[in-house]
Structure 1
């Protein structure tokens, strides 16, 4: 039988984080981290990873800059970033983001 420890309130966890853009690992599934963070309208610099990551917007909107194009990711939408692809968050992104990497 599942325990309450298996139930995670992602929006509540994001609200309780002391600072925007600092993720907190909520758990691991199949070797991937599940992280949550708050976006606060500020930009986040470009980064590249040697692994793929999934960016799931729970509420609000993320403005993602990929290959010199702006991709708007809305609530309930998931953007899959392939390994090795530089990506940055443009100003105006706000809400709650889940990162699976």
Structure 2
């Protein structure tokens, strides 16, 4: 596999919050997306997911608790936990999850 420019890939995406699969590690997918300040509705998943902020900030509410994840930080949402994106989330987000 070639080297992937994650920020460039995110910047080239036509719409915010629509991810692109960068690659797979075992059964997990590594995806990137751009955040644009809009909130997203609450969701939960059968498996955990890792949320890694490359630049900007991800503003979540997870299991009823407000969480800000800043550039260079990662937050793991446990399987089954309700989580939503709050207004003001901006930047580049990498998601690692089972696919």
Computing the radius of gyration from Cα coordinates, the structure with the larger value is 1
User: Where does the alignment leave 5 or more consecutive residues of structure 2 unmatched?
Assistant: none
* Alignment match of 1:6 (pick from 2, 6, 23): 2
Alignment partner of 1:92: what SS? coil
Alignment partner of 1:11: what SS? helix
* Alignment match of 2:19 (pick from 23, 30, 42): 23
* Alignment deviations for residues 22-76 of structure 1 (CA, whole Å, 9 cap, x no partner): 0010100021000000000000111110011000000000001012211000000
Note if 1:70 corresponds to 2:81. Answer: no
- What is the aligned-residue RMSD (CA, Å)? 0.7
**TM-score, normalised with respect to structure 2:** 0.95
Note if 1:55 corresponds to 2:51. Answer: yes
Q: How many residues align?
A: 97
User: Where does the alignment leave 5 or more consecutive residues of structure 1 unmatched?
Assistant: none
Over 3 Å off, 4+ runs? none
**TM-score, normalised with respect to structure 1:** 0.93
Note if 1:91 corresponds to 2:87. Answer: yes
